Structure 1
Amino acid sequence: MEDSGLKRVVVTGGNTGIGFALCKQLLTEDNCFVYLCSRNQERGTAAVAEIQAAYPAHKERIHLVLVDTSVPDSIVAAAEAVREHLGTHKLYAIVNNAGVGLATRTSKQALLDTNFWGPKRMVDAFMPMLQDAGRVVHVGSGAGPMWLKKQSEDEIKFLSTEHTWEELEQFVIKRMATTDDFGDYGLSKSALACLGMTQARVYPSITFSTVSPGFINTKLVAGFGATKPPEEGTVSIRHCLFQPLPGNGWFWGSDAKRSPLHTTRDPGTPEYKGE
């Protein structure tokens, strides 16, 4: 990797949907070296080949990383592979985009492994490679606030403030036992945003953000009526990757405006100003 000025970014779930769109944009518009992460060798190889064929001038700036973010050992192996590939360079950012739920029906355990424990384990494994003032973006969902606003005052307060990892993990495990399919997903995304707040306190030199990409036509919401293409789901991600941010651990709406965790905020409405 001859250009030491490149921003090096890891993107999980990079072979499809919003992750795939983001990888293309990072490569061609944001002067990045992209580690496209896929849990499947064949699909990952095809995704990288498609991008290299479309943008041959940038073909040396994308690298496939195999990782199943629901499997701890896979994350450890992926981190070692990236560490070896980086050499003396540092990562600029991690984008925890991989997610399951809703139309991609799965078990409660698999959902938590991917949507909640996966991002935590990715940060733990890749943090030593992040540069000072690096960034971490968790791809959350508007389903998080949509679910949380209907819960008890105590639960709203809990998931709207930072906690220790142990406190958050215990809450999520206990609460997940009582949720339905939509609640499973909404809880996992609310908990992910809370995780971002907690990580911002633990790693104050790194800027953490959790974002809603919007109602985007991906496999996750297949059949739900979403029409916006994946390329429109990267606005808040790229904002939180590259723009100056006035706070750490915040939740951002799909229009790249700060949004609350405890209730919904529609794009285009006033930005959230709370604590």
Structure 2
Amino acid sequence: MSSKVAVVTGANKGIGFAIVRGLCKRFEGVVYLTARDEERGKNAVADLKKEGLNPKFHQLDVTDKKSLEVFRDYIKTNYGGIDILVNNAAIAFKSNATEPVAVQAEQTLFVNYFTLVSTCDVLFPILKNGARVINLSSSAGHLSNIPSAALRDRLKDENLTVEELSSLMQQFVDAAKQGTHAADWGNSSYVVSKVGVTALSNVQQRLLNDKDIKVNSVHPGYVATDMSSHKGPMSIDEGAIATVYLALDAPDSVKGKFVWYNKEIVDWAGEKPKSFY
């Protein structure tokens, strides 16, 4: 029960895999690589063990509440709770995807936003005192990407609740189904989902201010992964740097922040940094 525990979701490849690697090298505790697909997850662990690292694997499908509950109970029974939680699992449709906008909106928001809410609902109660949570966002998650000033004002409202934010995210999905989303929300379901992730992180920190728990969102950079069709100029290990920094090195004063790939704190509701990556 005395071991510290770090958990990374969706970690069998890409940035999640690199975050596990980075944590294994420095974290004084147990690092869990979780993945929906058991074979891929175990293969990823085997690859890291060949490097002399020692992550553990546990199957976890963040879209399945039962899977989340099984994982929660396992961690609580064996370790008492979680010290570092990295919510990395996400999807993105390719720019040339043929699925209708309504389908892309519903599926992207379900995995990237609504599943994150349910993951936190299940796992937050077992966060240990002093825990750190890092939610993987994106440069797409900067508030300036939302065209409507009224929506931006609502999303950055200091009194916004999770329920109200979820209602806004559902309004986007409904508008996409009606074909009326573009003027207020823009045309990218991925942008809306990651704006939701960043906004959620801010709300979560406010709700946890009376506890010694830090929640931040991070833009990992434009990384060469399957999600980016390997177009990004950054390696997966470079894309893990800011997350590992927030997990292990950032001062306790860094909480409720939007952190860029180079570890700089960015004003989420201000001007977007010119650096794309």
TM-score by length of 2: 0.85
Which region of structure 1 is more displaced relative to structure 2, 158-167 or 183-192?
158-167
After TM superposition, give the deviation of residue 182 of structure 1 in Å: 5.5
Q: 8 Å contact 2:146–2:192 — kept in the other structure?
A: no
2:47 paired residue among 26, 47, 50: 50
Hey, what's the Cα distance between the residues in 1 that align with 2:257 and 2:233? 27
After TM superposition, give the deviation of residue 219 of structure 1 in Å: 1.1
After TM superposition, give the deviation of residue 210 of structure 1 in Å: 0.4
| 1:17 has 2:23 as partner | no
Alignment partner, residue 63 of structure 2: 70
Q: 8 Å contact 1:9–1:93 — kept in the other structure?
A: yes
Structure 1 counterpart SS, 2:221 = coil
Map Cα deviations across residues 196-225 of structure 1 (whole Å, 9 max, x no partner). Answer: 1111121222110000000001111106x3
After TM superposition, give the deviation of residue 12 of structure 1 in Å: 0.3
Map 1:141-152 to 2 at 5 A.
Answer: 141-145=138-142, 148-152=144-148
Which region of structure 1 is more displaced relative to structure 2, 40-49 or 76-85?
76-85
Hey, what's the Cα distance between the residues in 1 that align with 2:73 and 2:129? 20
Hey, what's the Cα distance between the residues in 2 that align with 1:201 and 1:81? 28
| 1:264 has 2:255 as partner | no
Alignment partner, residue 85 of structure 1: 78
Q: 8 Å contact 1:149–1:156 — kept in the other structure?
A: no
Query: For the structure 1 residues 102 and 160, does the alpha-carbon distance in structure 2 shift closer, same or farther, using more than 3 Å as the test?
Result: farther
Hey, what's the Cα distance between the residues in 2 that align with 1:195 and 1:253? 17
| 1:113 has 2:110 as partner | yes
After TM superposition, give the deviation of residue 23 of structure 1 in Å: 0.5
Alignment partner, residue 96 of structure 1: 87
Q: Amino acid of the residue matched to residue 168 of structure 1?
A: L
Hey, what's the Cα distance between the residues in 2 that align with 1:101 and 1:47? 21
| 1:226 has 2:217 as partner | no
Q: 8 Å contact 1:148–1:187 — kept in the other structure?
A: no
Map Cα deviations across residues 131-179 of structure 1 (whole Å, 9 max, x no partner). Answer: 112111000000122x743511111122223411111111111123334
1:129 paired residue among 121, 126, 134: 126
Q: 8 Å contact 2:75–2:82 — kept in the other structure?
A: no
After TM superposition, give the deviation of residue 230 of structure 1 in Å: 0.3
Q: Amino acid of the residue matched to residue 190 of structure 1?
A: V
Which region of structure 1 is more displaced relative to structure 2, 226-235 or 103-112?
103-112
1:160 paired residue among 152, 156, 159: 156
Alignment partner, residue 184 of structure 1: 189
Q: 8 Å contact 1:97–1:138 — kept in the other structure?
A: yes
Hey, what's the Cα distance between the residues in 1 that align with 2:65 and 2:191? 23
Q: Amino acid of the residue matched to residue 183 of structure 1?
A: S
The answer for unaligned runs of 5 or more in structure 2 is 98-102
| 1:253 has 2:246 as partner | no
Once the two structures are aligned, what percentage of the paired residues are identical?
A: 25
Structure 2 counterpart SS, 1:143 = helix
Residue-pair matches, total: 257
Q: 8 Å contact 1:70–1:118 — kept in the other structure?
A: yes
Hey, what's the Cα distance between the residues in 2 that align with 1:71 and 1:90? 20
Map Cα deviations across residues 104-149 of structure 1 (whole Å, 9 max, x no partner). Answer: 967333322221122222222112321112111000000122x743
TM-score by length of 1: 0.85
- Off by >6 Å, runs of 4+ in structure 1: none
Q: Amino acid of the residue matched to residue 159 of structure 1?
A: L
After TM superposition, give the deviation of residue 248 of structure 1 in Å: 2.4
**CA RMSD, 1 decimal:** 2.3
Q: 8 Å contact 1:90–1:130 — kept in the other structure?
A: yes
After TM superposition, give the deviation of residue 40 of structure 1 in Å: 0.3
Hey, what's the Cα distance between the residues in 2 that align with 1:102 and 1:37? 22
